[in-house]
Amino acid sequence: MDWKTRIAAIINNHTDLVADPPRKRMIAEAVERRECIVSIGGALATWTPPESTGRSPKDTVIVKRPVNENEIDWNSPNNIPITEETFDMAMEDALKLMAEKPRVYVTNKVVGADSRYALPIQTVSDFALTVLFTDNMFRPVPDDLERSIFADRPFSLVVLPYDKLDPRRYEGRLRKLPNGETSNMIVAMDFERGLGVIVGSAYGGSVKKLIFTVMNYLLPAEGILPLHCSANEGTDGNSALLLGLSGTGKTTLSADPRRALLGDDEHGWSDDGIANFENGCYAKLINLSPVKEPEIYNAVTHKDDYLSHGAIVENAMVYPDGTFDFDDERFTPNSRASYPLRYLSNIKESSIAGHPKTILFLTADANGVIPPVSKLNPEQAMLWFLMGYTSKLAGTETGIVEPVSTFSRFFGQPFMPRNPDVYARMLGEKMKEHDTQVYLINTGWSGGPYGVGKRMDIDLTRAMVDAALSGRLKNMEYEQDPIFKVFVPKSCPDVPNEILKPCNTWTDKDEYDKRAKKLAVDFKTHFDKAYSDKNIDPKVVAECPGM
- Based on the residue annotation, tell me whether 265 is a catalytic residue of this protein: yes
**Per-residue pLDDT at 110 exceeds 90:** yes
Cα Rg for the chain, rounded, in angstroms? Answer: 23
CATH 3.40.449.10, applies to 3-40+51-224 = yes
> Residue 403: what pLDDT?
67
**Per-residue pLDDT at 442 exceeds 50:** yes
> Residue 34: what pLDDT?
97
- Based on the residue annotation, tell me whether 169 is a catalytic residue of this protein: no
> Residue 256: what pLDDT?
85
**Per-residue pLDDT at 454 exceeds 90:** yes
Q: Which regions of the chain carry the CATH code 3.40.449.10?
A: 3-40+51-224
Q: Which residue has the higher pLDDT, 293 or 385?
A: 385
Q: Please give the model's pTM, rounded to 2 decimal places.
A: 0.95
Nearest to residue 175, comparing CAs of 96, 64, 97, 86?
Answer: 86
**Per-residue pLDDT at 280 exceeds 90:** yes
| pLDDT digits 0-9 by tens, 285-300 | 999 999 888 999 999 9
- Based on the residue annotation, tell me whether 114 is a catalytic residue of this protein: no
- Based on the residue annotation, tell me whether 358 is a catalytic residue of this protein: no
Note the CATH architecture for domain 357-541: Alpha-Beta Complex (3.90)
- Based on the residue annotation, tell me whether 209 is a catalytic residue of this protein: yes
**Per-residue pLDDT at 91 exceeds 50:** yes
**Per-residue pLDDT at 90 exceeds 70:** yes
**Per-residue pLDDT at 375 exceeds 90:** yes
> Residue 400: what pLDDT?
35
- Among the options 73, 93, 264, 265, which is catalytic? 265
In b/e form, how buried is each residue of 245-263, taking b as 16+ CB within 10 angstroms?
Answer: bebbbbbbbbbbeebbbbb
* Average pLDDT value for the chain: 95
For helices 420-434 and 378-387, what crossing angle results, to 10°? 150
**Contact present, 208 and 281 (Cβ < 8 Å):** no
- Based on the residue annotation, tell me whether 246 is a catalytic residue of this protein: yes
The whole-number average pLDDT for the span 231-260 is 90
Q: Which regions of the chain carry the CATH code 3.90.228.20?
A: 357-541
- Determine how β-strand 389-393 pairs with β-strand 454-455: unpaired
The whole-number average pLDDT for the span 165-170 is 97
Residue 217: helix, strand or coil by DSSP?
helix
The whole-number average pLDDT for the span 113-117 is 98
Percent over 90 (pLDDT), the chain = 90
| pLDDT digits 0-9 by tens, 468-526 | 999 999 989 999 999 999 999 999 999 999 999 999 999 999 999 999 999 999 999 99
The whole-number average pLDDT for the span 112-117 is 98
| pLDDT digits 0-9 by tens, 20-67 | 999 999 999 999 999 999 999 999 999 999 999 999 999 999 999 999
| pLDDT digits 0-9 by tens, 175-196 | 999 999 999 999 999 999 999 9
> Residue 147: what pLDDT?
97
> Residue 404: what pLDDT?
80
* Sign of the CA dihedral with 76 first, then 67, 229, and 484 last: positive
**Per-residue pLDDT at 391 exceeds 90:** no
> Across the strands, what pairs with 53?
none
**Per-residue pLDDT at 302 exceeds 50:** yes
pLDDT band with cut points at 50, 70 and 90 for residue 392: confident
- Among the options 251, 252, 332, 338, which is catalytic? 251
The whole-number average pLDDT for the span 331-351 is 95
- Among the options 139, 259, 309, 336, which is catalytic? 336
pLDDT band with cut points at 50, 70 and 90 for residue 255: confident
- Based on the residue annotation, tell me whether 55 is a catalytic residue of this protein: yes
- Among the options 109, 193, 228, 485, which is catalytic? 228
In b/e form, how buried is each residue of 313-326, taking b as 16+ CB within 10 angstroms?
Answer: bbbbbbeeeeebeb
> Residue 395: what pLDDT?
38
> Residue 402: what pLDDT?
62
Residue type, 330: R
**Per-residue pLDDT at 338 exceeds 80:** yes
**Per-residue pLDDT at 101 exceeds 50:** yes
Nearest to residue 247, comparing CAs of 367, 451, 393?
Answer: 393
Beta strands (DSSP E) in 411-509 are 437-442, 445-446, 454-455, 478-480, 487-489
> Residue 50: what pLDDT?
93
**Contact present, 523 and 367 (Cβ < 8 Å):** no
The whole-number average pLDDT for the span 393-420 is 74
- Among the options 246, 455, 524, 539, which is catalytic? 246
> Residue 398: what pLDDT?
34
The whole-number average pLDDT for the span 445-461 is 93
DSSP label at 449?
S
The whole-number average pLDDT for the span 136-148 is 98
- Determine how β-strand 445-446 pairs with β-strand 478-480: unpaired
Percent over 70 (pLDDT), the chain = 98
- DSSP state letters, 393-412: E---BTTB--EEEEE-GGG-
- Among the options 14, 55, 109, 309, which is catalytic? 55
